[in-house]
């Protein structure tokens, strides 16, 4: 069963105090792009949505449970997170990462499911390679497949394309579109305006700004990089 992620009058503890309360819902199959200059709280927002940071005010709920109070294992079945930097020094192979993702998602780790998840993520040819021998871009692709395998409701992505080349960026954006079609909801924090515009699926986007610049906006219209740039530099 897919769960809806809801933010009710959310005020982040840091760093954008007084930027206004955020209220929005992410029904299954929705995607939201989060934009903002450095230090405006994109990562804090994502960590708060993941239940890792406690907000100053308001609540984040997944289904009907506050996300921060969910038992970690139950939360992991519904919600996954990908950070901007792929893991360093982890000796696990690509296949082992996917096995762990299935385990975290509460599913059996049968060879068929592992293979299907690797095929879907386009990483099956590296199955036996330790992830610390892969390039950053390849490792990030593994982490995206890991997140998609793990969670069936929400995937949070914190600047996932930071280390990727043009093709890698396109692949990430295409993956987000595919997850959305599967009924997952996605929140993507990024500086990569062109790639988002090119992907074409973003019709909901948030611009995080300090109070002096007008506060945070949530736009419900097709994303264009020109409009986003204007709001970011205003």
Partner 1 sequence: MSARWSNPVLMVAMVLLFAAGLFSGPAHLAWSEEWGALSGEGSPTSVTIMWQLRLPRLMTAVLSGASLGLAGLLMQTYFRNPLAGPSVLGVTSGATLGVALVALGGATLGWIPHALNMAPQVMGALLGSGAVMVLLGLVMGQFRSRTALLIFGLMVGYLAGALVTVLQAGAEAGALQAFVHWGMGSFAQGGWAPCTIMAVALVAAVFWANRAASRLDMWTMGALTARTMGVDERSLSWGALGMAGVLAGLVTAWCGPIAFLGLATPHLVRAAGAPRRHAGLIWPVLLTGATLALFADGVVRWFGVPLNAVLSLVGAPVVLMLIIGKGRWSTSKAKGA
Alpha helices, DSSP H, located in the chain: 42-49, 72-78, 94-104, 111-121, 136-150, 166-181, 193-199, 225-233
Longest dimension (CA), the chain: 54
Handedness of CA 218, 220, 224, 230 (dihedral sign): negative
Q: Is 60 in the site for partner 1 (CB under 8 A)?
A: no
Q: What are phi and psi of 197, to 5 degrees?
A: -65, -45
* Nearer to partner 1 (CB atom), residue 66 or residue 211: 66
Nearer to partner 1, 61 or 93 (CB): 93
Contacts of 226 (CB under 8 A, 6+ apart): none
Please report whether residue 187 would count as binding partner 1 according to CB under 8 A. Answer: no
In the complex with partner 1, the residue whose CB is nearer, 87 or 122, is 87
Q: How far is residue 19's CA from residue 114's CA, in Å, rounded to a whole number? A: 43
Choosing from 2, 56, 77, 180, the residue that interacts with partner 1 (CB under 8 A) is 77
Binding to partner 1 in span 13-52, by CB under 8 A? 50, 52
Position 83 contacts partner 1 (CB under 8 A):
yes
Phi, psi of 76, rounded to the nearest 5 degrees: -65, -25
Give CA 185 to chain center in angstroms: 9
Shortest spacing between CB 115 and partner 1, in angstroms: 18
Q: By CB under 8 A, what part of segment 105-124 binds partner 1?
A: none
Which of 9, 23, 69, 90 forms a contact with partner 1 (CB under 8 A)?
Answer: 90
| Residue 147 CB, nearest approach to partner 1 (Å) | 8
Per CB under 8 A, 97 contacts partner 1: yes
Residues that bind partner 1 (CB under 8 A): 50, 52, 72-77, 79-81, 83, 87-93, 96-97, 100-101, 103-104, 130, 133, 143, 150, 156
């Amino acid at each position: 069963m897919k769960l809806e992620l809801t933010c009710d009058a959310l005020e982040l503890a840091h760093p954008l105090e007084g930027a206004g309360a955020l209220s929005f819902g992410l029904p299954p199959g929705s995607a939201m792009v989060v934009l903002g200059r450095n230090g405006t709280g994109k990562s804090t927002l994502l960590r708060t949505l993941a239940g890792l940071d406690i907000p100053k005010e308001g609540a984040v709920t997944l289904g009907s449970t506050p996300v921060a109070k969910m038992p970690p294992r139950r939360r992991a079945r519904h919600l996954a997170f990908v950070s901007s930097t792929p893991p360093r020094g982890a000796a696990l192979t690509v296949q082992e990462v996917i096995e762990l993702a299935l385990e975290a998602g509460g599913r059996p780790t049968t060879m068929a499911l592992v293979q299907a998840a690797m095929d879907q993520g386009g990483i099956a040819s590296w199955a036996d390679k330790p992830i610390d021998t892969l390039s950053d871009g390849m490792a990030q692709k593994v982490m995206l497949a890991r997140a998609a395998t793990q969670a069936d409701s929400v995937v949070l992505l914190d600047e996932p394309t930071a280390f990727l080349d043009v093709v890698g960026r396109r692949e990430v954006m295409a993956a987000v579109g595919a997850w959305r079609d599967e009924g997952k909801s996605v929140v993507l924090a990024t500086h990569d305006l062109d790639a988002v515009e090119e992907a074409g699926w973003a019709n909901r986007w948030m611009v995080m700004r300090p109070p002096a610049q007008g506060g945070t906006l949530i736009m419900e219209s097709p994303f264009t990089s020109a409009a986003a740039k204007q709001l970011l530099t205003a």
